Structure 1
Amino acid sequence: MIIDIKYHIASLTAVFLALGIGIVIGTSMIGSDTITKQQRNIIDGIEKEFTILREENKQNTEALLQAQEEMSHQQQFNQNVLPLLVRDKLKGRKIAIVDINYHREHDGLANVLRSSGADVQSVTIINLGLLKDENLNKQTAGMLGKSKDTDLEKYLPDLAKLSAEAIAAGENSDLVRFLEDNEVVRISGYHGPPLQDVVLIGGSAKKEEDYFKKFDQVMIKAWQKAGLNVYGVEDSDTAVSYMRYYQNAHLSTVDNIDTVYGQVSLVMAMYGYPGQYGIKETAEAFIPPLE
């Protein structure tokens, strides 16, 4: 049973206020059996209220401990079963993970892909928010030959195309090195062939940081033109979802890639069950068929 703490606080406050008024009246009417009886009833009521509150709190504590224990068991189950579900599903596949505008790690996703037999060639994290810095903005525009036009959104498509080429073919090393030196890009692994698949982690924290049409979409088209398979994913708590964008670009999608369920869904989508998976209204199913 879940208790409403605000309700109990309000109730107890009212009771204490009434008790205070009763004491004031009582001090001016010492010897009145009626007032004394009323005060006794109020005190008994407070004691009863506290007894009920303590019992409900005890029940809630026990329920919480039970839920935590069940969650721990679920996590242990996931860790033991997940490798069996994905084993050899993506054996030999060459994959790049590209994480745009996020400030969290996705090591779990990379590990699941590796458990499926895939070779995760690179993990690239791109933080476009840093380009709002005036000096870095000017330098980046200069690297792109746009020194007279430092409007971020105007040069983002060029930056996206060159970045996509770098990931797919290992090109534009000077630009990549500049972006790495200024922490706009973080790379582990190596760019270039023989790449087959790109997992694009998108979404944004704020509407004003929605750069899909200027950046993500340009990268997707460049990768598709190069013959790569592209999959669009995001975390379950993403503030501004890109799922509809990805689906309009004809990508298979997973909207809860931060969970074990989402990671299994991605592996199965890449294995041969394309679709729109997850927990949001844009999903067509929670999870693909499992073999």
Structure 2
Amino acid sequence: MLRLRDHIASLVAVFLALGLGILIGTGFSEDMLVTQQRLLIDRLTLEFSDLREEQRRLEAQIQEQKRDLYLWEQYQKALYDMYIPGSLAGRKPALICHAAELPEEIPKLLADAGAEPVALLRVPEKGGGEQCAAGLGQAVGSLLVAGDTEKQVEVLQELQQDGRLEAELIQPGRADSLLLFLGETERVDTVFVRELAAAAKSLGIPLVGLENSKVKKSALAELKAAGMSTIDNADTVFGQFSLLAVLQGVPGHYGVKAGADAFLPAVREVP
């Protein structure tokens, strides 16, 4: 009996709620609905207007940035034409890439500056073990400053047969500077780097350590500790200007990362 009574009560409650809903619904007049629609339309129109205004502002900002970029490119070209041509005439750098790719702008920079690279060597990333690394830095240094074509060919053939390096370019003559491009520190063989730095110091030729700005874990600290110049943004126009300055006799540690002492060499110091 209680169950039936409860059931009837619940049905009555449902019908009362339905009736109340109908009553409330019919209470909204046509004018009220029209007013609400008008308010909604006005709000959407205002939001659309704000979006159009934001679009115009962004388009104007993009045009301004394009103009600034164009002016910067023209300024960069003017500086390039002023400082680069012939600035390294007669210089014979050797390029060594270890666990890194050579920035495509570097060969053009050296060519425009009048430099004549005597070598482009690629040393595989770390992974060959201590026996593979031991002695390689000294051997590469000796190879590049030998000035003896027969000796160079002999050493080069031995190193290539062992798979310890790959030569993309080798020209007769003694290198007067070494440009060492390094990648991420976990891929770099510190034994090779230390040996090459020691060889360069003992042979009396400058060594410059370089890396791309995208390298996250720098390996340049080894070279900085050895007293060699370093540049951590060699893939940018700023890094290339720094390289030019270093090769002209303004040593230092340049770039944008923690190991750099300055962003650029002081202009007054550049010959």
Q: What TM-score, normalized by structure 2, do the two folds share?
A: 0.74
Please, which runs of 5 or more residues in structure 1 have no aligned partner? 1-24, 132-136, 138-151
Which residue number corresponds to residue 242 of structure 2? 265
Alpha-carbon RMSD across the aligned residues, in angstroms, is 2.9
Residues 168 and 192 of structure 1 are in contact (CA less than 8 Å); yes or no, is this contact kept in structure 2?
no
Q: Find the counterpart in structure 2 of residue 29 from structure 1.
A: 25
Contact 1:167–1:192 (Cα < 8 Å) also in 2 = no
Offset at residue 192 of structure 1 (A): 6.0
Give 5+ residue unaligned stretches, structure 2: 1-20, 147-151
Question: What is the aligned length?
Answer: 238
* Alpha carbons of structure 1 residues 159 and 244: separation in structure 2 relative to 1, 3 Å: closer
Distance in 1, Cα, partners of 2:235 & 2:168: 20
Contact 1:168–1:223, Cα closer than 8 Å, also in 2: no
Point out the structure with max Rg over C-alpha.
2
C-alpha distance in 2 between matches for 1:72 and 1:61: 17
CA contact (8 A) 1:168 1:191 kept: no
Are residues 1:197 and 2:177 paired? yes
- Aligned mates of 1:34, 1:157 — CA distance in 2: 88
Q: Deviations over 1:50-101 (max 9, x none)?
A: 3212321232133223313322332233233213213443332211111221
Q: For 1:117 and 1:97, how far apart are their aligned partners in 2?
A: 15
1:244 corresponds to: 221
1:103-139 deviation per Cα after TM superposition (whole angstroms, max 9, x unaligned): 4x4232222223333221122233426x5xxxxx6xx
| Counterparts in 2 of 1:165 and 1:35: CA distance versus 1, 3 Å | farther
Cα distance in 1 for residues equivalent to 2:251 and 2:177: 13
SS in 1 for 2:117: strand
* Number of the residue aligned with 1:142: none
1:53 to 45, 51, 56: 51
Does structure 2 retain, via aligned residues, the 8 Å contact 1:234–1:255? Answer: yes
Find out whether 1:109 has 2:106 as its counterpart. Answer: yes
Alignment-mate amino acid for residue 157 of structure 2: D
Kindly report which structure 2 residues correspond to 1:12-23, keeping only aligned pairs within 5 A, or say none. none
SS of the residue corresponding to residue 122 of structure 2 reads: strand
The aligned amino acid for 1:128 is E
Other-structure match for 1:224: 201
Matched, 1:208 2:208: no
TM-score, with structure 1 as normaliser: 0.69
Question: What is the Cα deviation at residue 202 of structure 1?
Answer: 1.4
Identity level (%)? 24
